[in-house]
Amino acid sequence: MIRVICAAIFAALFLFGSTLPSQAQDITLTSRDSKVELSGMLLGFDGEFYRIQTEYGELTIDGSGVLCAGPACPNLQDYVAELQISGAPTLGAIVMPALIEAFAQKNGYFTEREDGEDSGTFTYLIRRSADEKLAARFYFRVSNTDEGFADLLADEADIVMSLREIRPDERSRAREAGLGDMTGPNRSRVLALDAIVPVVSGSNPVRGISPADLSMVLAGQITNWEVLGGPDVPIDLHLPDDASGLGQALVDQLLRPANLTKLSKQATRHAMPSDLARAVAADTFSLGLTSYADRGDTQALALTGTCGFSMEASRRTIKTEDYPLTAPMFLYFPARRLPQLAREFLAFTRGPAAQIVIRRSGFVDQTPEEIEVEQQGNRFANAIAHAGTEISLGELQRMTATLTPMARLSTSFRFEAGSVRLDAQSRSNVLQLARALEVGQYDARRLLFVGFSDGNGAAEANREIALRRADAVRRAVSEAALAADLERVELGVDAFGEAMPMACDDSAWGRQANRRVEVWVR
């Protein structure tokens, strides 16, 4: 007979991750005074909480308040935390293993890697000492982003490694499967930053390409280097595999903004980024699209515009999102509780030690940096040179007087196209800046949230929009900094509208780059 468990146990209910084999069995949980019990099918145990399927639905029970009976009851003394991680090879082959090793070293754990029988599978064994019993097993299945989300939806993964944002259909299916809203604040995280870069051989004479021309090359509408200012020879196009997150990001960031739908069928596809880089480096007349971290011995092309602006991918321009083809690297997790050691590892990935590991792995970290005015290139000169007739000399002088005594933080904020919602990297930046405020990093200093806009429309209206966006970001950061003493720091807002463009306004990419909120500090 199943009796309803007491209210004190139900007060501890919340979701957590599956850590047991897929063959679940019946168990009975009994309160320590033997007055109440709950029976059902065990779905998971994380070392602290049971997750069981009952006639009342899926419930989570605090293990400290109950005794377990049944063949599926876990061994509480020898509990081993288990975590299934699936998805993009760029993260699975390089970043995540490096972070696990660093996490173990910092906490005095010992790690051992075991390669699986299937290609792309391996396991990290974590022990608290060299000869002690296992504390955790982290299983990896390295394939591609599509497979990672498929494993999550099939309940075969606890974490997805992704080189793109979750797609609307994946988000809907995840919600229907009871995994929560995967775009929510606790369901995804930007682990590191990368970027899509066009690359050529070092012997190729072309050094820049506009995003519009690049999209037409990808779609097969430009096929000769002569159109791009090079010799009269065909372009040999090299692209990532279309199931990879990077391959799908090409469609999202380059084709769709240009109202194009399909990549060229003449392109050579590569499953591994290293193979793409080697092929492009060896062929003078090839053009490849790859990630900033995987460009190898190739020459990255600058992104150009008709107005004269040029932007190269670099660690700084990727971190600030000034480079328009920035590609965040995500971790996604369902709305369920993960084992404690797994939670400790994920908390570590946010800290300063992890950011150093990410940088050493060849990717761009998210540690905020202060950039002095003299280190910002010709931004102020460009502002004067490209100021429209609606931007007065007085407004340019006000901007210069306001910002010159300050330093720009590398933490910037941009919005999704046609939306007031911050983009994925910016949502992560909100949390990063909020944590910095909580630990007092900017105590006794002034942070100024400065809004900028594109040049479409009237200058005064653009400035008002930019000011509202700056204030929205300030409020988002303040609300996220729950433990911060905001009396110790001054948070202000200002806006200069279209007065300091980062790119040409003649394309969707340029306008997107110009609509931003910067953070300046003094």
Specify the pLDDT at position 230.
94
Secondary structure (3-state) at 188: strand
CATH class of 7-69: mainly beta
Give pLDDT, residue 418: 63
Asked if residues 53 and 38 have their Cβ atoms less than 8 Å apart, the reply is no
pLDDT value at position 417?
67
Hey, what CATH class is 194-319 in? alpha beta
Strand partners, 162: 330
The per-residue pLDDT for 7 is 37
Domain coordinates of the chain in residue numbers? 7-69, 81-187+333-348, 194-319, 368-521
Contact between 422 and 430 under an 8 Å Cβ cutoff? The reply is yes
pLDDT of residue 522: 93
Distances (CA, A) of 266 to 99, 200, 239, 263, 271: 38, 17, 10, 9, 16
Exposed (0-12), middle (13-18) or buried (19+): which is 376, by Cβ within 10 Å?
middle
pLDDT at position 291, please? Answer: 92
Instruction: State residue 20's pLDDT score.
Output: 42
- Rounded to a whole number of angstroms, the distance between the first and last alpha carbons of the chain is 67
Q: Which CATH architecture has domain 81-187+333-348?
A: 3-Layer(aba) Sandwich (3.40)
- What lies within 8 Å, CB to CB, of 475 at 6+ separation is none
Per-block mean pLDDT, blocks of 10 residues, the chain (522 long): 38 39 68 85 80 82 85 78 91 93 94 91 90 89 92 92 90 89 83 94 95 94 96 96 87 89 91 92 96 93 84 90 89 86 91 92 90 79 73 87 93 80 86 90 95 87 92 94 91 92 80 90 94
- What count of other Cβ atoms lies within 10 Å of the Cβ of residue 212? 21
Residue 138, H or E segment: strand 134-142
pLDDT value of position 18: 40
Structure tokens at 96: 């995540």
**Nearest CA-CA partner of 453 in 509, 499, 497, 387:** 497
**Beta strand pairing call for 37-45 and 26-31:** antiparallel
Contacts of residue 242, defined as CB under 8 A and 6 or more positions apart, other chains included, come to 248, 263, 269
CA dist 12 and 29 (Å) reads 14
pLDDT of 412:
92
> Does residue 180 contact residue 104 with C-beta atoms inside 8 Å?
no
- Tokens 């202000």 -> residue: 492
β-pairing, 302-304 with 208-209? Answer: parallel
Please check whether the two domains, 81-187+333-348 and 194-319, share a CATH topology: yes
- Residue 487: DSSP 8-state: G
Q: Which helix (H) or strand (E) holds 104?
A: helix 96-107
The Cα 332–Cα 186 span in angstroms is: 9
Burial of 6 (0-12, 13-18, 19+ CB in 10 A): middle
| Homologous superfamily assigned to 368-521 | OmpA-like domain (3.30.1330.60)
Tokens 């059902």 correspond to what residue? 40
Task: Report how far residue 149's alpha carbon sits from residue 128's, in angstroms, rounded to the nearest whole number.
Answer: 31
SS3 letters for 292-314?
HHHCCCCEECEEECCCCCEECCC
At a CB cut-off of 8 Å and minimum separation 6, what does 449 contact? 470, 471, 473, 474, 477, 491, 492, 493, 494, 517, 518, 519
**What angle separates helix 424-438 from helix 459-480, to the nearest 10 degrees?**
50
